[in-house]
Chains A and B, each alone.
Chain A
């Protein structure tokens, strides 16, 4: 149950996607997310879905790992869908009941929004599934570095993120262990009224917080005893270098953007097949 959260969970595999420079992956994911909101028209979405499917296929991460990430936002998707379904003004009314009006435009728009959300989550979980947290934060640090002169604490942000990501699996394991320990004492987390269930969280949360504080304290001591003092003058053990395949990936990204905008133009120009 607790292992359903895929965010920040790396799926080890030997694939071209795993081997890409994390900075490139981050950039491409960013572009992908932005372009998602430029897509329109059936052909555009088919193109995005096919591209995503191709990348997933190449990444060798089983599809159900991506879908597991969706589980946690199912409610948000449904909510977005419902709001858009009834709140979109339009002319082609399907039916009207009190203040609720269902229009053809609403149906289309709601479907579009939900599809975008799903594609967004799958796309971004692809990034975290194929990139180790360390690579990812390293990439974020390099990308943020130019802003350091404007007072952006690039290194500190990256370090905070590294530590946070690093502790997600640890704390999940810890939660699992505490839950089991309390279950061994007859605790029951799955039944009872809402109030009872909320109360049954206390025996998990208190030990979990204590353990998190203890770990934080130990980590701080360990970092200090190794003379950690922030980012200034720090060198890297692994320096990321762009390779041939990274340039190829960038090229593919450019082609992708071009396609998205070409399709968008085709739709807005009203070329029959694309509308």
Chain B
């Protein structure tokens, strides 16, 4: 599903001293099946932008088109928009409320008035996708570990069968193992289920590794938009905005300064490993 954002502006508390322009004339085109990394400093407008995409927040001016259709055209269809554009909030485990894991995941499909059969099918397949087996169905979500809670919450979105999956810092506050689990889950959703993914993240490593295109926001505006290579080669600009390039690219840069013939376009650990191995004499 393609998303088109036309001249989107959002002002919080318009007309008071608390007035704040969160989005300033944002235009963006997202193709079906793309994996977008959305980065930006705290308060750059990322969260406000993604809340517009499923109609939780209405634009002050401008429009959002899903497959060419304005999402605010018909108020009765907003629910359908929210089904198709699944939004996983930051710390999604804070929204868990049901007695059991199963019931919590079924909350979304039930709200959408799916048939009994479809609710069961979707709930089970979503829990399976996040790697929570049958032994978890009847547990209280509050007894799970942090990573499991988060996966339960993500399953709650997946059970609605979204076509676009938006995640706001899905790995924040998780241990390395939990992070890895969530990231590979997202990767799988993108590759196997062909979902369009928008990943908001502060981890340049994650974004460099996973995203096909990176959008950089600063003070409510989209300031950069391009492939990871294009974005991360402008290190100085990123640093000015309080961002950075992936750590490994600094290692690569230092190596180049020492005279190693290594490509400057290396932004993931995997790429760096391969490039360094290629540099080593083969008999080692």
- Contacting residue for A203 out of B56, B83, B86, B97, CB 8 A: B97
- A181, A188, A202, A211: the one within 8 Å of B79 (CB): A188
Beta-carbon nearest neighbor of B107 in chain A: A185
Q: Is the CB of B79 within 8 A of A207?
A: no
B89 touches A184 (CB 8 A): yes
Of the candidates B13, B17, B89, B160, which one forms a contact with A177 in the assembled complex, judged by CB atoms under 8 Å apart?
A: B89
- Within the assembled complex, what's the spacing in Å between the Cα atoms of A213 and B107? 24
CB-CB < 8 A to B79: which residues of A?
A: 186, 188
- Contact flags B63-84 to A (C-beta < 8 A → 1, else 0): 0000000000000000100110
Q: Is A51 interfacial (CB-CB < 8 Å)?
A: no
Residues of B within 8 A of A178 (CB): 94-95
Q: How far is the CA of A252 from the CA of B202 in the complex (A)?
A: 56
Contact with A along B181-223 (1 / 0, CB 8 A): 0000000000000000000000000000000000000000000
Q: Which of B16, B56, B157 is close to A183, meaning CB atoms less than 8 Å apart?
A: B56
Could you tell me the distance between the alpha carbons of A87 and B16 in the complex, rounded to whole angstroms? Answer: 42
Asked if A185 and B97 make an inter-chain contact with CB atoms under 8 angstroms apart, the answer reads no
Q: For residue B87, which residues in chain A have a CB less than 8 angstroms away from its CB?
A: 184
* Residues 50-86 of A at the B interface (beta carbon under 8 Å): 62, 65
In A115-152, the 8 Å CB interface with B consists of: none
The answer to whether A186 and B83 have CB atoms under 8 Å apart is yes
Q: Which residue from B16, B17, B51, B111 sits with its C-beta under 8 Å from A185?
A: B111
Within 8 A of B (CB), among A174-202: 177-178, 180-188, 202
Q: How far is the CA of A184 from the CA of B160 in the complex (A)?
A: 10
When chains A and B are docked, how far (Å) is the Cα of A11 from the Cα of B97? 34
A173: min CB distance to chain B, Å: 12
Residues of A within 8 A of B94 (CB): 177-178, 181, 207, 210-211
Q: A19 at interface (Cβ–Cβ under 8 A)?
A: no
Q: Which of B17, B51, B92 contacts A11 (CB 8 A)?
A: B17
**A65 contacts which chain B residues (CB < 8 A)?**
16
Q: Considering the chains assembled together, what is the distance between the CA atoms of A3 and B14 in angstroms?
A: 13
CB of B122 closer than 8 Å to a CB of A: no
Contact, CB under 8 Å: B96 / A207: yes
B156: interface (CB < 8 Å): yes
Q: How far is the CB of A5 from chain B (nearest CB, A)?
A: 14
From known contacts A177-B89, A178-B95, A203-B97, infer whether A186 and B112 are also in contact, taking CB-CB under 8 Å: yes
Tell me the nearest residue of chain A to B16, going by C-beta.
A62
B148 at the binding interface (Cβ < 8 Å): no
A186 to B96, CA, bound (A): 14
Query: In the complex where A207-B94, A211-B94 touch, is A184 in contact with B54 (Cβ < 8 A)?
Result: yes
CB of A89 within 8 Å of the partner chain: no
Given contact pairs A12-B17, A13-B17, A180-B51, A186 touches B160 in the complex (Cβ within 8 A): yes
B108 contacts the other chain (Cβ, under 8 Å)? yes
Chain B min CB distance to A135 (Å): 18
Q: How far, in angstroms, from A240 to B50 measured CA to CA in the complex?
A: 45
Q: Does A206 contact B (CB under 8 A)?
A: yes
Asked if B107 and A202 sit within 8 Å, CB to CB, the answer is no
The residue that A181 contacts in the complex, of B95, B109, B111, B160, with Cβ under 8 A, is B95
- Look across to chain B and name the residue whose beta carbon is closest to the beta carbon of A182: B95
Q: Smallest Cβ distance from A126 to chain B, in angstroms? A: 16
Contacts of B101-154 to chain A: CB distance below 8 A? 107-109, 111-112, 142
Q: Which residues of A contact B160 (CB under 8 A)?
A: 185-186
* A184: chain B residues within 8 A (beta carbon): 54, 56, 82, 86-87, 89, 157
> Which B residues touch A186, using CB under 8 A?
79, 82-83, 107-109, 111-112, 160
A62 to B82, CA, bound (A): 37
A200 nearest in chain B by CB position: B111
Would B97 and A181 count as touching, CB distance under 8 A? no
Cβ–Cβ < 8 Å partners of A202 in chain B? 97
B56 touches A185 (CB 8 A): no
Q: Complex: how many Å from CA A60 to CA B55?
A: 35
Interface centre among B56, B86, B92, B111 (most CB of A within 10 A): B111
Closest B residue by C-beta to A214: B94
Task: Sample 5 A-B pairs with CB under 8 A, ordered by A number.
Answer: A181-B95, A185-B160, A186-B108, A186-B109, A203-B95
B residues adjacent to A (C-beta < 8 A): 13, 16-17, 51, 54, 56, 79, 82-83, 86-87, 89, 92, 94-97, 107-109, 111-112, 142, 156-157, 160
Closest 4 CB pairs of A and B: A186-B111, A206-B97, A185-B108, A181-B95
